[in-house]
Amino acid sequence: MSLSRQTVHGLAALCGGIPDLKFTVSTSSGGDLWVAEHPDAQLCVHAFRQAIAEWPESDCHAPCIEGVAFDEFEELAGVLSRDGERWFVSPLDAQATADCLRSAGLDDAIDALVREDLDFDVSVVRLSTGIANESELDDAAIAAYAACLTEELTRASTPAA
């Protein structure tokens, strides 16, 4: 089953937010595409991002991507992890995302960076630290990501005034 358009948009937003991002997408035709800023890559991250941004909304299907495998990152509950940093895509604008990060009660040792992506109507979040241990950073990232998703669900279920 292909990834949802929302998931693919999040992946494309990560291309604009994470320096040196490398990943492989598995397509529904059975092929794999390595996406990276590397001479051997089939597609650079900028071309991938542009292709997804230009994919017609009215088209009957989302891009036919079955799965994603990230180089240099582990994925944990929607959060990408590598030494000392965690990344995720918030479905909210930058201000609402920042509010959620504050409400998640991040430790003072954790730095947060929020980058709004207007092309995909999401925000890319980076949490990093040089002090907290990796499991504390995992817990903080999952709590922050959950706070953003909860806020989005709350907004979606609240009738407009």
Task: Extract the tokens encoding 95.
Answer: 């201000």
Q: What torsion do the CA atoms of 115, 15, 66, 74 make, to the nearest 10 degrees?
A: -80
DSSP 95-142: HHHHHHHHHTT--TT-EEEEEEETTTTEEEEEEE-SSS-HHHHHHHHH
Domain boundaries, the chain: 5-72, 75-157
Q: Calculate mean pLDDT across residues 103-113.
A: 88
Does position 62 have pLDDT exceeding 70, yes or no? no
Give the residue from 87, 126, 129, 137 showing the smallest Cα distance to 109.
Answer: 129
Query: Which uninterrupted H or E stretch holds 32?
Result: strand 32-35
Q: Tell whether the model's pLDDT for residue 35 goes beyond 90.
A: yes
Between residues 18 and 108, the one the model is more confident about: 18
64 or 115, greater pLDDT: 115
Pick the CATH number of 75-157 from 3.30.70.60, 3.40.50.1820, 1.10.340.30, 3.40.50.261: 3.30.70.60
What proportion of the chain, given as a percentage, has pLDDT over 70? 94
Q: Each residue of 74-84: pLDDT tens digit?
A: 998 899 999 99
- pLDDT for 59: 59
Which tens digit of pLDDT belongs to each residue from 144-153?
999 999 999 9
Nearest to 100 by CA among 136, 150, 135, 156: 150
Classify the phi-psi angles of 51: left when phi > 0, otherwise alpha if psi is within -120 to 50, otherwise beta: alpha
CA dist., res. 160 & res. 83, Å (int): 42
